[in-house]
């Protein structure tokens, strides 16, 4: 206990002088590492309405550079941690498994993001900055290792300190609001709507978020067989054959949209010459 208290004191002492400075996220992660094993970490800051800023990241390589580019450009909309903070306005410490829908690990988002990052488990602090801004301090385990209950409990006990330090640090970041995140949410909601029926669009949206057929049926109040039929018709209209192709079609259409003002991003995407 004494050693942990000493490590916590060191974390605070090292972070406080760096509040408002670029070195703050690195000091925060280093301090947490003195208390428990963390094999990977990413710190994201979401300014009001803006795209996520990657303010701390470890060991980037060519493969996960492309993954991160896609994440920042729009894949973050499907992230369970982002959804929890943005849509549900819930903040604190969470495990990935507590936030993600059923069958999320079978989703293309999980396969693309978590598999490419090598994460086997993730805990994340979601910290409210007010005025629509928040931070996500994502802590990962690699291989087959997971955070134990004792480690998760320790991280929970650290929540007030981590929250106060982060809020003090980002208080100087300003509150100017951007509209780009709102536009991306509109793009996600409208994706496929130019080709699909309203119900098919709803099904595709939930599939993108990682919901299983059973979960989609429960949310929409329809049968599993009806969900399968809507998905089959949607895939045919979009000329795709799998959830993986759906995921990349959404991201490619989103990333190719310039000066987006609303509507289905597939319209301009399909009008462009495809390589």
Contact in structure between 74 and 61 (CB atoms under 8 Å): no
Q: Please give the mean pLDDT across all residues of the chain.
A: 87
Q: So what's the pLDDT on residue 8?
A: 85
Q: So what's the pLDDT on residue 117?
A: 67
- Hey, what's the torsion of the CAs at 38, 154, 146, 41, to 10 degrees? -30
Q: How many CB atoms lie within 10 A of CB 38?
A: 20
Q: Residue 174 has which token pair?
A: 């300003």
Sign of the alpha-carbon dihedral angle for 196, 200, 203, 207: negative
Give the percent of the chain with pLDDT over 70.
90
Bigger pLDDT: 137 or 39?
Answer: 137
Which residues is 46 bridged to in the sheet? 134
Contact in structure between 213 and 224 (CB atoms under 8 Å): yes
CATH of domain 2-173: 3.30.450.80
Q: What is the pLDDT of residues 255-266, one digit of tens each?
A: 877 666 778 888
Q: So what's the pLDDT on residue 124?
A: 94
pLDDT above 80: residue 9: yes
Map out the domains of the chain as residue ranges: 2-173, 180-268
In this structure, CATH architecture of domain 180-268: Orthogonal Bundle (1.10)
Of 85-94, 106-115, 189-198, the one with minimum mean pLDDT is: 106-115
Q: What is the pLDDT of residues 12-70, one digit of tens each?
A: 999 999 999 999 999 999 999 999 888 889 999 999 888 999 999 986 554 567 778 88
Q: What is the pLDDT of residues 146-176, one digit of tens each?
A: 888 999 999 999 999 999 999 999 986 655 5
Q: What average pLDDT does the segment 271-275 reach?
A: 61
DSSP 104: G
pLDDT above 70: residue 77: yes
Q: So what's the pLDDT on residue 159?
A: 95
Nearest-angstrom CA–CA distance, 40 and 59: 9
Q: What average pLDDT does the segment 94-104 reach?
A: 87
Q: What average pLDDT does the segment 107-113 reach?
A: 80
Q: What is the pLDDT of residues 169-223, one digit of tens each?
A: 998 665 555 678 888 888 899 999 999 999 999 999 999 988 989 999 999 999 9
């Amino acid at each position: 206990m004494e050693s942990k208290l000493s490590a916590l004191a060191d974390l605070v002492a090292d972070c406080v002088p760096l509040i408002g400075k670029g070195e703050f996220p690195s000091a925060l992660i280093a301090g947490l590492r003195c208390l428990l094993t963390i094999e990977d970490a990413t710190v994201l800051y979401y300014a009001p309405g803006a795209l996520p800023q990657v303010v701390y990241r470890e060991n980037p390589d060519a493969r996960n550079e492309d993954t991160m580019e896609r994440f920042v450009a729009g894949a973050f909309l499907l992230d369970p941690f982002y959804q929890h903070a943005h849509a549900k306005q819930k903040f604190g410490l969470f495990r990935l498994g507590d936030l993600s829908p059923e069958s999320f690990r079978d989703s293309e988002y999980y396969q693309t993001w978590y598999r490419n990052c090598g994460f086997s488990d993730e805990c994340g602090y979601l910290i409210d900055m007010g005025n629509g801004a928040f931070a996500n301090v994502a802590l990962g385990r690699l291989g087959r290792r997971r955070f134990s209950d004792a480690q998760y409990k320790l991280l929970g006990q650290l929540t007030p300190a981590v929250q106060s330090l982060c809020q003090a640090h980002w208080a100087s970041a300003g509150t100017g609001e951007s509209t780009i995140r709102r536009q991306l949410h509109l793009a996600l909601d409208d994706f496929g709507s130019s080709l699909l029926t309203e119900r098919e669009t709803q099904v595709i949206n939930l599939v993108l978020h990682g919901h299983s057929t059973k979960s989609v049926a429960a949310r929409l109040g329809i049968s599993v067989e009806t969900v399968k039929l809507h998905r089959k018709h949607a895939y045919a209209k979009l000329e795709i054959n799998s959830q993986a192709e759906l995921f990349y079609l959404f991201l490619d259409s989103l990333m190719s949209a310039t000066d987006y003002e609303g509507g289905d991003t597939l319209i301009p995407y399909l009008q462009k010459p495809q390589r």
